[in-house]
């Protein structure tokens, strides 16, 4: 059995990708435009650049890499990452003062 999509589904998907593409073009124009605006604060400049990059990165990862459609898998991977991170930090703290015998500590 093949995976058949209706013409309407294909057009809706095409429209979605074109809208994301146009949003990325606008984001690039905003990025280039922000280059020519002088901000007195370096922190504000960096914050603006990171904000624009985060929006554009979300659009690319979410739509072109299909991560918006894989929520269950993403949450599973995030949960296992948090579990292993907490486990490794716990082991590190637990072994922090457990020195091998016959070693010098200062």
Q: In percent, how much of the chain has pLDDT > 90?
A: 53
23 exposed, middle or buried (CB, 10 Å; 0-12, 13-18, 19+)? middle
Residue closest to 58 by CA, chosen among 23, 89, 30, 33: 23
Q: Where are the domains of the chain?
A: 8-65, 70-97
Q: What is the pLDDT of residue 100?
A: 76
| Structural contact between residues 45 and 35, judged by C-beta atoms closer than 8 angstroms | no
SS3 67: helix
Task: Answer whether 0.75 is exceeded by the pTM.
Answer: no
pLDDT at 66 over 90: no
What region, left, alpha or beta, does residue 102 occupy, with left being phi > 0 and alpha being psi -120 to 50 degrees? left
pLDDT at 9 over 80: yes
Q: What is the pLDDT of residue 101?
A: 77
Q: In percent, how much of the chain has pLDDT > 70?
A: 94
């Amino acid at each position: 059995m093949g995976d058949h999509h209706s013409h309407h589904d294909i057009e809706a998907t095409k429209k979605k990708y074109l809208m994301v593409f146009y949003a990325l073009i606008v984001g690039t124009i905003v990025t280039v435009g922000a280059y020519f605006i002088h901000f007195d604060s370096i922190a504000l400049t960096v914050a603006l650049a990171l904000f624009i990059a985060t929006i554009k990165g979300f659009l690319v990862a979410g739509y072109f890499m299909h991560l918006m459609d894989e929520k269950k898998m993403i949450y599973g991977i995030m949960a296992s990452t948090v579990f292993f991170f907490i486990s490794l930090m716990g082991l590190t703290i637990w072994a922090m003062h457990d020195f091998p015998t016959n070693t010098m500590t200062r």
